[in-house]
Chain A
Amino acid sequence: MKQSMKTMMVAAAVSGLLSGATAMHASAAVNSSATPILKAGKLSFSGSTLDKAPKHSCKGKNDCKGQGGCKSSDNGCKQKNSCKGKGGCATDGSKMPD
Chain B
Amino acid sequence: MTEPSSSPTSLLEVQRRMAAAVMHPLTRQENMPRRRRDGASNIAEAEAIIRPNDRLSSFERLEIYNRQYWYRLFSCFEEDFPGLQAILGRAKFDRLMRAYLTDCPSESFSLRNLGSRLDAWFDQHPEHLGPHPVLARDMARLEWAHIEAFDSEERARLSAQKLAAIDEHSRLHLQPYLRVLALSYPVDDLLLQVRNEDGSATSSTNNASSTRKRHHVRHVAALAPKAIHIAVHRLENSVWYKPLSPEEFHLLSALLDGKPLGDSIDLALSTSPLPEDQRPAFLQEAFANWAMLGWFTS
Direct contact of A and B (CB under 8 A): yes
Chain B neighbourhood of A48, CB < 8 A: 199
B269, A51: Cβ atoms closer than 8 Å: no
Chain A neighbourhood of B157, CB < 8 A: 21, 24
For window 191-219 of chain B, which residues contact chain A by CB distance below 8 Å?
191-192, 195-196, 199-200, 204, 206, 209-210
Query: B119: CB under 8 A from chain A?
Result: no
B123 to chain A, nearest CB (A): 26
Q: Interface size class for chain A?
A: 35 or more
A35 to B289 CA separation, bound complex (whole angstroms): 9
B66, A88: Cβ atoms closer than 8 Å: yes
Q: Interface size class for chain B?
A: 35 or more
Number of A-B pairs whose CB atoms are under 8 Å? 215
A87, B64: Cβ atoms closer than 8 Å: yes
B30, A63: Cβ atoms closer than 8 Å: no
Chain A neighbourhood of B67, CB < 8 A: 70, 86-89
B261, A80: Cβ atoms closer than 8 Å: no
Query: B121: CB under 8 A from chain A?
Result: no
Chain B neighbourhood of A80, CB < 8 A: 71, 74-75, 78-79
Contact with A along B267-293 (1 / 0, CB 8 A): 001100000100111011111111111
List the interface of chain A (C-beta within 8 A of B). 1, 5-21, 23-24, 27, 33, 35-37, 39-48, 51-53, 55-56, 60-61, 63, 69-73, 75-80, 82-89, 91
List 17 other contacts, CB 8 Å, given A47-B200, A75-B210, A80-B79.
A1-B270, A12-B284, A13-B287, A20-B289, A21-B163, A21-B291, A39-B242, A41-B233, A43-B240, A47-B199, A55-B112, A71-B30, A73-B94, A83-B76, A83-B111, A86-B75, A87-B67
List the interface of chain B (C-beta within 8 A of A). 29-30, 56, 60, 63-68, 71-72, 74-76, 78-79, 90-91, 94, 110-112, 146-147, 150-151, 157-158, 160, 163-164, 166-168, 188-189, 191-192, 195-196, 199-200, 204, 206, 209-210, 230-231, 233, 235-236, 238-243, 261-262, 265-266, 269-270, 276, 279-281, 283-294, 296
Q: List 20 A-B contacts (CB under 8 A).
A: A7-B168, A9-B283, A11-B280, A12-B280, A14-B167, A17-B166, A19-B291, A20-B288, A23-B292, A24-B291, A36-B235, A39-B292, A40-B235, A55-B111, A55-B112, A60-B68, A71-B29, A78-B209, A82-B75, A87-B64
